[in-house]
Structure 1
Amino acid sequence: MKFSGTQSYVATDDLKLAVNAAITLEKPLLVKGEPGTGKTMLAEQLAESFGVKLITWHIKSTTKAHQGLYEYDAVSRLRDSQLNSDKVHDVRNYINKGKLWEAFEADERVILLIDEVDKADIEFPNDLLQEIDKMEFYVYETNETIKAKHRPIIIITSNNEKELPDAFLRRCFFHYIAFPDRNTLQKIVDVHYPDISQSLVSEALDVFFDVRQIPGLKKKPSTSELVDWIKLLMADNIGEEILRERDVTKAIPPLAGALIKNEQDVMLLERLAFMSRRKR
């Protein structure tokens, strides 16, 4: 299985190399990068490219590792026992399978996405070490070991919100998705909007990179936000001439709500505009 990108996903050569290396080594691929650089979409496109099922485990701050294996619903079993239900005699009726169990018991190789692993508690990655390494886990309630029928291709994403344990990192193949350069962004826009005016794209990219380079910006606009912004420019018939003739004393580009996502950055742009007006 070799990944070479898809028609709707522009994968750089180093990213394709990382994906294929992880598959060859049979190790999880740990992908880091700015939010909006396509980390989650990578798993989706990988599943599409190989024609296999994608199983997604979205991690939250409250997520525990055992939830990816299974959860035993003791409360429901106690309630059913009080009601003299026949279900109570089979503990399997109260085992809720997690995403890892689902991936392990699949009849064909699947893609397992563990999305935003750094959102969970610091112990979360360590609690999954053996299961990811050995591709099996033990179910105490039923006294059985669940082994993977086919080793899934595991994609783990992180936004770098916290450091991951060394023991966990040793078991992964690591790749950092650098922010795309101008040529790559051009290709990404062309994939989404194949009939777009190239002069509009050129001017939009000029504005986009100008905004990203503003010192002190709390959240720089991402690739996905650029794609959304260009869609709005086309929908509102805002041509390249408007972007080309932008007034530096206004500072905030048209439809900036697609690019600027917090009030601190809006206030920063407004201050820059005020300073530009005073200099005039």
Structure 2
Amino acid sequence: MTTQRMLDGKVVVVTGSGGGIGRDIALMMARHGAKVVVNDVGASLTGEGHNDGPAQAVVNEIKSFDGQATANTDSVADAAGAGRIVQNALDVFGRIDCVVNNAGILRDRFFHKMSEEEWDAVLKVHLYGSYYVSRAAADHFKEQRSGAFVHMTSTSGLIGNLAQANYSAAKLGIAGLSKSIALDLEKFGVRSNCIAPFAWSRMINSIKVDSPEQEARVAKIKQMTPAKIAPLAVYLASEQAADVTGQIFAVRNNEIFLMSQPRPVRSVHRGEGWTPETIAEHAMPALRKSFHTLDVSADVFSWDPV
């Protein structure tokens, strides 16, 4: 008797899955029974160039173990391309059950040196891309009263990192987008969650290494393989996660974290209201005890990955 796999009968779109984290997610989705749309524009980290090589290569890997997959080379960075990605799933496999918004690029630069093009390009792929593909799938999920979104956020946005204002803003925006989707589509049985992955990939490979501290950080990341992210993505796509929505998880090698979401941590009250002077004299001294420090991700996740 054949054992039922966790994603049998499911159709999953994985954007940016020609390599790195996306590739491992696509492979594991297929191994657990999903039919996969492998999307990758075949571009460099900066978004230049175009070919269908990476996506088709992953499809070939999936077919080598008798999985089902199709390659797609549309860009997530415009609404029409995102619509074609979702339509690809419908045309080839007849339905869509999960979207993994994984596509991304990096254009790291200190904020005071960042160009409009560097800002816009990263926002377009990460934040707009996640919106466009999710929006294209939402009506189908609503109609069938089921569906799952898995979005890739980052501790660069949730906590902070140097020289990544564009990436950090996009990734924190994705966390807000995911929560809004979870709230708006809950009544239709649709779920939306985020993963903040720690993993060495072709995108992370572009991190500037210009100090001993950065070198040590990159050495840590290299220990964490993209394959470690895939099990959580597969779970979140499955019916076993039917009651999991609106959450932010982080995966760091063999560790899975549930991340906090912004909530009040301390308050002050003055019956007669506030003036700038009383804020300086009373409010800030009282609130200062709970101020957040200027941490970067490596300060918070300071221990070696296990």
Could you state the TM-score of these two structures normalised by the residue count of structure 1? 0.28
Could you state the TM-score of these two structures normalised by the residue count of structure 2? 0.26
Greater Rg over alpha carbons, structure:
1
- Which structure's relative contact order is higher, taking Cα pairs within 8 Å and 6+ residues apart? 1
